[in-house]
A and B are shown apart, each in its own frame.
Chain A
Amino acid sequence: MEIPLNSVRRWLFTTNHKDVGILYFITSLYFLVVGGALAVLMRLQLMAPGLNILQSAPFNQAVTVHGLVMVLWFLSPLAFAFANYFVPLQIGARDLAFPRLNAMSYWFYLFGGLLAAIGFFTPGGAIDTGWTVYAPLNTAKYSPQLGVTLGGAGLLMLIASVTMSTVNFLVTIFRSRAPGMTLWRMPIYTWGILLTVFMMLFAFPSVAAGVIMLAADRLLGTLYFSSVEGGAILWDHLFWFFGHPEVYIVLVPGLVAIAEVLPVFARKPLYGKKILITALIIGSIMSFMVWAHHMFVTGIDPGFRKFMTITTETISIPFGVATLAFILTLVGASIRFTTPMLFALGGVALFIIGGITGVFNSSVALDYYLRGTYWIVAHFHYTLVGGATTGLIAALYYWWPKMTGRMFNEKLGKLHFIVYMIGFNLLYFPMHFLIDMPRRVFTYPAGMGWELPNMLATMGTIVFALSWLILFINLYQSLRKGEPAGNNPWGAWSLEWLVPSPPPRHNYDGQPVVKADGTITIQPIPANGGHHIHETHYSKWPLFISLGMFVTFLGVGLGLPVLLLGALILIGSIVGWAKEKFIAVEPAEGERWPFANVERVRLGVWTLLFGEVVLFGALIGSYIFVRINSATWPAPGEFLNPMEGAINTFILVTSSLTAILALAGAKSGNQGLLRGGLIATFILGFIFLFNKGREWSELFSHGITFSSGLPATTYYITTGAHGMHVAAGLAVLIYLIIHAFKGRITKENHAGLEGFDLYWHFVDIVWLFLFPLFYLI
């Protein structure tokens, strides 16, 4: 499919990483405007005591959607706009490893945001539980409105988007680096994105499990969050195991954006690049060991809490080291005060303040009082707006000439910086003095001493909003009449600056190579190296699959016909995707440590399965959690038949063996073994599901439903999630069987089957945990 570059279809069907990057860029700024408008409304309401601009219910919706949109639909996606555009360029690749998957990530992200925001137009309004969606306020009993369900659906689509991105970026960074582009030599922004996707891989499945359980509670009547055995604390664990790494997922790209920009305009190399990377690796790992600091005053175990206090205070060490590395970069420099540099320096200053107030919150003693106050609001806006957003604005100005081929107006840029800094500090600094005022109240009484800081903050909001307007005017003018940028207006070293602005669709007319002394050259691909590469750059299926998913989720609210229509679009476009011939070329050679021998698809499946481990870990962990908290629990065999479970276990394990046989057949070129093995695997998998279905219907006929207590709730949802995985495996099997009978799975070409085998074994292993947990203990 070839499409003219100036058509609308190009943007709908593109799979090119730079086009997708621009889509992310525009969409994230759109969500910034949405979230920002909500913030302006809230601040107007809070300007003085007792105002009536935004009443309680709409205020709660505004505060919730503002939080969700800013963190998940603006900040991270803006970072990933740059990641999409520049990670392949910076490592010398032609595109991401899975371009179609990348396009689908984008569409899932967009439609997910629309699902969450569409709630404003439903009766009862948008989700209004706070961005943390605390239990049991999130259950149908206390928040029956459709908006909350839609918010959950939007979150699920976003989580799917993030998971696809994670797989894509990890495989790309590990498999598509140019020869000589070792890990240590990678530009710091790419490093930051690598760490960010690692954190995403482990963090998001936890909240995915939480949202799935919440959806089950709301739609099927299960009892995870309405029971006291699960309830508030279970949600807290699931949410914050995601939520705290998420803070670093948002922060790290902003910090590495600063680290990318500082050396260019300081005209000195980054101080201690390896130290900085090591610090960020330690910080990323530790980000999974601090989540309970959001639960210090929920009465959790004091020993566990002490551990979390120490880890929380310790995590400020790597980020403190990072900050000092930024400052030391300036020593001996010759600083050029361009707009991107001003924002990078401003970002460091604001992050220092946010980092220091964060240390206060790590203290359990102080947290007894600070939790839920405006002090916290001040703290995280200094880190996530002051640090992360300011850093990303530096990146925006830095890379804009590369993305558009045009310079922006430096004077307007500097004006933007001044107004931004004044507005920001006027907005957020006074909030430190609102240490006695609760968060998320739509109004407050006079006479508490809260009037002046609130008034200042609202004035700051107006100034801050204006500063963004200056940015947008500057960008618009630059597009219309900006000076041509040339290849490298800033004198930067990294690869993206060696090619024209904007870069050609395939990035490099040749193969970039980094020599031992660090010199980067672009070597022409030898003429005798065979044919010219013809990659595919368009596919309509990512958009249609995402649309199908969107309509299906809408159907949850609008009724069965819509749901069926969505399912139809979804299935049709998945088939279309599977049948489409799409060529994404992996470079013939390059730096692939440590995954030189792990083929692209296999590495992708491995990555995905790591996420799945966390998903099932969260589901099984929740089961154990509610079981430990329950006073009574049915004895083994009381409502599930261990014998039936054992038979099903045997069937599923056998299907793993037949899957191995099928792969052996493919590897040895034995087509009979391949086909027979695949069909046997399908039949066994099908019998497993059939037995499961029989078990369910039998339980239902005995009156044991989703809401018949926690044993039933956990059994249905955990094994149900597993069953869905088996069903998905069967769908892939149909595809593989068709391919096998067409003779397309061969000795040389069986990567897809290999990926399936890994997945199938994983699904079996999960069952080996579920069987004893539910049937025997």
Chain B
Amino acid sequence: MTTALSPVTAQWQELFTLYLTIGTAVGSIVIALLIYNIIRYRHKPGSPEPADAPTPGKVPADRGTIGAALILTLIVTGILFTITLGTMETVDLIEKPPEKGTMVIKVHGFQWGWKFIYPNGLETVNEVRVPRDEVIIFAVTSDDVFHKFQLIEFKIGVDAIPGKVIWIWIKPADTGEYTIQCFELCGVGHAFMTGRLIVMEPSEFESWYKG
């Protein structure tokens, strides 16, 4: 994997890969089992009916045991348990920004755009500039309807809800331009409710921020 943009991004991608690996493995095994049974037990000309085949006008006998049910349940549970642990860990990381001295930028979603308010009162619309390698907290809310503030490349986003403030954080590792987009239907302008996240060298950011 290439170096991740931000610690949360790395963790998200690792977790997704874990789910994908287990999911693909489980899915392949189960579907293979299905196909194997379909082929192995297909009707062949001349082969006799199974002894317990459904008979018109007779309730079929029970088939299968409780033991089998327990084994089935345990298999499914075991798989789920593994991935649950991974998810709890990542949630903690997403929701606990690492250190003090971080920059908190208020994000206001509105129909249809994003307003950013910096600690010094500076306001920007649809474009937010941040320094590289710093912990940035976005405090997300909405001025009108339900939106979702999403940083596509960073693999993180959160709902923007009127009357509520929800925090997410990033620590961008690379300078560059990244996409912000609304991910909750919010009216006719939804498709164009995009913005840019610009990560700058800390020194360049300083001069921009002060100027």
* A and B co-occur in one complex: yes
Q: Chain A: residues with CB nearer than 8 A to chain B?
A: 56-57, 60, 63, 129-130, 134-137, 142-143, 185, 228-229, 231-233, 263-264, 266-275, 278-279, 297-299, 302, 306, 309-310, 313-314, 316-317, 320-321, 323-325, 327-328, 330-337, 345, 348-349, 352-353, 356-357, 359-360, 363-366, 368-369, 371-373, 436, 438-444, 448, 488, 491-493, 497-498, 514, 518-521
Judging by beta carbons under 8 Å apart, are A357 and B23 in contact? yes
Judging by beta carbons under 8 Å apart, are B182 and A438 in contact? yes
B190 interface residue per 8 A CB criterion: yes
B58 interface residue per 8 A CB criterion: yes
Judging by beta carbons under 8 Å apart, are B15 and A263 in contact? no
Checking A297, A345, A521 against B34 with a beta-carbon cut-off of 8 angstroms, the contacting residue is A345
- Contacts of A273 on B, CB cut-off 8 Å? 62-64
Q: Which of B34, B66, B94, B145 has the most CB of A within 10 A?
A: B145
Stretch at the interface among B83-91, B97-105, B124-132, B202-210: B83-91
A56 to B159, CA, bound (A): 22
CB within 8 Å of A: which B157-211 residues? 157-159, 161-166, 168, 179, 181-191
Judging by beta carbons under 8 Å apart, are A309 and B58 in contact? no
| Residues 73-91 of chain B, each 1 if its beta carbon lies under 8 Å from chain A, else 0 | 1001100100110111111
A433 to B10, CA, bound (A): 19
CB distance from A492 to the nearest CB of B (A): 6
Checking A135, A233, A327, A334 against B47 with a beta-carbon cut-off of 8 angstroms, the contacting residue is A334
Known contacts A313-B80, A371-B183; A267/B49 CB under 8 A: yes
Smallest Cβ-Cβ distance to A134: which chain B residue: B146
Judging by beta carbons under 8 Å apart, are B187 and A142 in contact? yes
B59 interface residue per 8 A CB criterion: yes
- How many A-B residue pairs have C-beta atoms within 8 angstroms? Tell me: 272
Number of residues in B with C-beta < 8 Å to the partner?
Answer: 85
Judging by beta carbons under 8 Å apart, are B190 and A331 in contact? no
Judging by beta carbons under 8 Å apart, are A142 and B148 in contact? no
- Contacts of B150 on A, CB cut-off 8 Å? 369, 372, 438
- Contacts of B156 on A, CB cut-off 8 Å? 368-369
- Contacts of A519 on B, CB cut-off 8 Å? 57-58
Smallest Cβ-Cβ distance to B92: which chain A residue: A365
Q: Which of B63, B77, B157, B179 has the most CB of A within 10 A?
A: B63
B38 interface residue per 8 A CB criterion: yes
Known contacts A233-B161, A356-B26; A317/B76 CB under 8 A: yes
- Can you list 9 A-B contacts (CB < 8 A)? A274-B64, A299-B161, A317-B80, A330-B41, A334-B48, A369-B156, A439-B185, A443-B191, A519-B58
B12 interface residue per 8 A CB criterion: yes
Given A228-B164, A297-B159, A363-B84, 20 extra CB contacts under 8 A: A56-B188, A272-B64, A278-B69, A297-B148, A299-B164, A299-B166, A302-B95, A316-B76, A316-B80, A317-B80, A321-B73, A328-B68, A330-B37, A333-B50, A337-B42, A359-B83, A363-B83, A368-B94, A491-B56, A492-B54
- Contacts of A333 on B, CB cut-off 8 Å? 37, 41, 50
Checking B37, B76, B86, B185 against A134 with a beta-carbon cut-off of 8 angstroms, the contacting residue is B185
